[in-house]
Amino acid sequence: MNQYELIIIGSGTVSNDGLQEALSAGLTKILVVEEDRIGGTCLNYG
């Protein structure tokens, strides 16, 4: 079983901010779960 320090659900612009904060805090085992395209609805369809 994989173990992660952080799981981010969705990949919109707010998730990207959270990912940057997590990386800045030194987290390295991060999973991003996205059912469609990376970037979220606004970037891909808006």
Structure tokens at 1: 């079983």
Q: Where are the domains of the chain?
A: 6-45
- Give pLDDT tens digits for 1-45: 899 999 999 888 888 888 999 999 999 999 999 988 888 888 888
CA angle 15–4–24, rounded 5-degree value: 50
pLDDT at residue 7 in the model: 94
pTM, two decimals, is: 0.76
